[in-house]
């Protein structure tokens, strides 16, 4: 649920009319600073009284309208946070393509600045539960409006760009299974199982038994219902618990879209869990949103969408999860274009269902989620975010397959 704090105002209600006061020379200077910050982005900036700055080169891809002075100064103060805050509050409006506007902004940062010091807080069990509850427990009915039939809320795999979202999510589930070389009768542990689609797919199509962990109560309830309905409850056990308390032994350890919520400070804990549970010839797969250089997620995303989340670089994961236990990296696959395409589908479905979403929540919620979905699409399409699938095994395993899955 989107918290009701920060810049909220009633601007959304009066989004069609402009503020009655004139912009000053100081306002124009501030707007110039904002334009300079994204200087190569072809964007037209407009203030509440019609004052405008055109892009230095070429026609604009979109127009960005500040509807109140507070929004303008919010951007000056903390652009990364207040872009999202002012957009969701309706204090800023975009004419033209929001996607192209965001892509242009991301592309204008050609070399991301590396923070000198990156604070990576620890998510203890309670914080993890609260963070997950914040996002994943806002209602299965809401997610059903715009996810695929299988309710898969992670990057899909499009065999061709024209594949449907339904096809691409099934293809992703299958890609994961094939990369793990699952054999009938093997034991799988899944850390962070969402609504259970991967666990059920593995049991159904590959004949394995699965223990799948999740701390979201809404998701676990949904997954257990599905297992019972499909007659798979004897082979797929959904456990409502934290990944830290995973016990037992497995031949394959898989985690799709959970590492982002673990937080870098707890990667060694995850490594220890994998080492404790994985059999001698076991294989593992981690699927996660990552980066080319260390950087925190946008402060707006951390405030409104994913508290406690972090998108790591490959070395951060390798050094802290795999290397201490001498796990051997067999395969890394970057699927960032597939996530941009997945988010395009989600965004379109979300827009189609936006009136229903509005009736379930409010205008701010709709605008926040629109920005989150389209902003994420722009992050993946411009390479600001990556999507990595990493396959690994124990370094001295004898069971490494001869060729890999394409």
Interface with a copy of itself (CB under 8 A): 107, 110-112, 158-161, 292-293, 313-315, 318-319, 322-323, 326-334, 336-337, 382-384, 386, 388, 394-397, 400, 402-406
- Closest contact distance (angstroms) between CB of 335 and a copy of itself is 9
Distance (Å, rounded) from C-alpha 117 to C-alpha 344? 34
Distance (Å, rounded) from C-alpha 136 to C-alpha 132? 6
Distance (Å, rounded) from C-alpha 42 to C-alpha 60? 5
Q: How far is the CA of 364 from the CAs of 17, 293, 361, 369, 375, in angstroms?
A: 18, 32, 8, 9, 16
- Closer residue to a copy of itself (CB): 111 or 126: 111
Could you say which DSSP state residue 25 is in?
H
Distance (Å, rounded) from C-alpha 386 to C-alpha 50? 38
- Closest contact distance (angstroms) between CB of 104 and a copy of itself is 12
- Closest contact distance (angstroms) between CB of 63 and a copy of itself is 24
- Closest contact distance (angstroms) between CB of 107 and a copy of itself is 6
Distance (Å, rounded) from C-alpha 159 to C-alpha 40? 34
- Closer residue to a copy of itself (CB): 50 or 315: 315
- Closer residue to a copy of itself (CB): 46 or 391: 391
- Closer residue to a copy of itself (CB): 131 or 382: 382
- Closest contact distance (angstroms) between CB of 84 and a copy of itself is 22
- Closest contact distance (angstroms) between CB of 155 and a copy of itself is 14
- Closest by CA position to 98, among listed 298, 403, 351, 267: 351
- Closer residue to a copy of itself (CB): 36 or 398: 398
- Closest by CA position to 254, among listed 150, 176, 154: 176
- Closest contact distance (angstroms) between CB of 102 and a copy of itself is 14
Distance (Å, rounded) from C-alpha 54 to C-alpha 56? 6
CB 377 within 8 A of CB 99: yes
Q: Which residues pair with 334 in a beta bridge?
A: 388
Q: CB 124: neighbour CB atoms within 10 A?
A: 14
């Amino acid at each position: 649920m989107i918290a009701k704090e920060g810049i909220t105002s009633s601007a959304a209600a009066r989004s069609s009319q402009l503020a009655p006061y004139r912009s000053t020379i100081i306002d124009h200077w501030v707007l110039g600073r904002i334009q300079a910050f994204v200087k190569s982005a072809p964007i037209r900036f407009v203030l509440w009284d019609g004052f405008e700055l055109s892009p230095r080169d070429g026609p604009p891809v979109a127009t960005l309208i500040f509807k109140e002075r507070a929004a303008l100064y919010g951007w000056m103060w903390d652009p990364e946070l207040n872009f999202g805050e002012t957009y969701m509050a309706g204090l800023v409006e975009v004419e033209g393509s929001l996607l192209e506007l965001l892509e242009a902004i991301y592309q204008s940062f050609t070399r991301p600045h590396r923070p000198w010091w990156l604070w990576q807080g620890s998510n203890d069990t309670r914080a993890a539960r609260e963070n997950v509850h914040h996002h994943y427990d806002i209602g299965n009915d809401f997610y059903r409006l715009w996810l695929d039939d299988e309710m898969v809320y992670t990057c899909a795999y499009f065999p061709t760009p024209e594949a449907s979202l339904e096809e691409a999510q099934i293809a992703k589930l299958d890609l994961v299974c094939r990369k793990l070389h699952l054999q009938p009768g093997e034991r799988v542990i899944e850390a962070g199982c969402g609504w259970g689609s991967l666990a059920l797919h593995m049991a159904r199509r590959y004949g394995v038994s699965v223990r799948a962990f999740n701390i979201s109560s809404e998701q676990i309830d949904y997954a257990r219902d599905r297992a019972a309905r499909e007659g798979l409850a004897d082979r797929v056990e959904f456990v409502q618990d934290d990944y830290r308390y995973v016990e037992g032994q497995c031949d394959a350890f898989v985690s799709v879209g959970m590492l982002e919520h673990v937080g870098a400070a707890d990667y060694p804990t995850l490594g220890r869990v994998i080492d404790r549970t994985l059999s001698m010839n076991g294989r593992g797969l981690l699927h996660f949103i990552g980066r080319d250089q260390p950087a925190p997620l946008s402060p707006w995303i951390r405030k409104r969408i994913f508290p406690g989340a972090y998108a790591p670089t490959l070395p951060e994961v390798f050094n802290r999860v795999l290397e201490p236990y001498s796990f051997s990296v067999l395969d890394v696959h970057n699927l960032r274009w597939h996530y941009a395409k997945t988010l395009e589908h989600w965004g379109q479905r979300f827009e189609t269902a936006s009136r229903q979403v509005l009736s379930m929540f409010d205008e701010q919620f709709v605008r926040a989620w629109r920005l989150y979905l389209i902003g994420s699409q722009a992050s993946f399409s411009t390479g600001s975010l990556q999507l990595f699938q990493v396959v690994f095994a124990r370094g001295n395993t004898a069971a490494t397959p001869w060729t890999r899955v394409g």
